[in-house]
A and B are shown apart, each in its own frame.
Chain A
Amino acid sequence: GQNIDQPTEMTATEGAIVQINCTYQTSGFNGLFWYQQHAGEAPTFLSYNVLDGLEEKGRFSSFLSRSKGYSYLLLKELQMKDSASYLCAVRGAGYALNFGKGTSLLVTP
């Protein structure tokens, strides 16, 4: 089975940088995904990591350490519209994505 942990809530200030952590335990590993989900809307794909290191996409970056079972999502130059839930999902030895419970990020002025 898989166990995925991420903080329940975080608050940050507009213009700042925030790091959202995700730790996981899995039998087999075939990639880690980050999704953004605004309240009442569909999750939308942000990033994918399968090898150790940092993947950068504009204001968003995602890091993976497979040996530590650890990933983080880094959001720079925060904007009010970044207030949302951020979901960490791990693909184990099979097909399925297992999702964490999500981190609710509030960006304040």
Chain B
Amino acid sequence: DADVTQTPRNRITKTGKRIMLECSQTKGHDRMYWYRQDPGLGLRLIYYSFDVKDINKGEISDGYSVSRQAQAKFSLSLESAIPNQTALYFCATSDPGTGPDTQYFGPGTRLTVL
């Protein structure tokens, strides 16, 4: 089984709808991250969480919110989706206690907002 899973893997929605993307991990890592990837722009950090009680904004948090329900679960919400939020979304986890705090990525969610 994959260590980092994301649901759904693909989603098409309409402008104005509320959307939640979910991330679960079995790696036992405390740190979790949400990124979006757009062609030509690379990966950009939306939010990150260093533990259940710690949530921080990343580079592009406007229009997004997150919830860290447990060590293993980190959800990303779009309260009112807009077309420029169409992108590939990745969740990642890391453990600063082991080596260089390498981030390990989930398989991604492809979101299309019409």
Are the CB atoms of A43 and B105 closer together than 8 Å? Answer: yes
CB-defined contacts of B105 to chain A, threshold 8 Å? 42-44
Are the CB atoms of A87 and B48 closer together than 8 Å? Answer: no
B90's partner among A31, A42, A89 (CB-CB below 8 A) is A42
Are the CB atoms of A100 and B102 closer together than 8 Å? Answer: no
How many residue-residue contacts, CB under 8 A, span A and B?
45
Main secondary structure of the interface of A (DSSP, over half): loop
Are the CB atoms of B58 and A96 closer together than 8 Å? Answer: yes
Are the CB atoms of A87 and B100 closer together than 8 Å? Answer: no
Cβ proximity bits A37-78 to B, threshold 8 Å, 1 near / 0 not? 000111111001010000000000000000000000000000
Chain B contact-residue range equals 20 to 34
- Shortest Cβ distance from A24 into chain B, in angstroms? 13
Chain A contact-residue range equals 20 to 34
Closest chain A residue to B45, Cβ basis:
A96
Cβ proximity bits B19-54 to A, threshold 8 Å, 1 near / 0 not? 000000000000000000000111111001010000
Q: Is B103 an interface residue when CB atoms closer than 8 A count as contact? A: yes
Are the CB atoms of A45 and B104 closer together than 8 Å? Answer: yes
Are the CB atoms of B43 and A99 closer together than 8 Å? Answer: yes
CB-defined contacts of A41 to chain B, threshold 8 Å? 107-108
Are the CB atoms of A100 and B107 closer together than 8 Å? Answer: no
CB-defined contacts of A43 to chain B, threshold 8 Å? 43, 90, 105
Q: Which residues of A contact B (CB under 8 A)?
A: 31, 33, 40-45, 48, 50, 87, 89, 91, 95-97, 99-102
- Ranked nearest first, the 7 interchain pairs of A and B with the lowest CB-CB distance are A42-B105, A101-B42, A99-B43, A48-B100, A99-B42, A43-B105, A45-B102
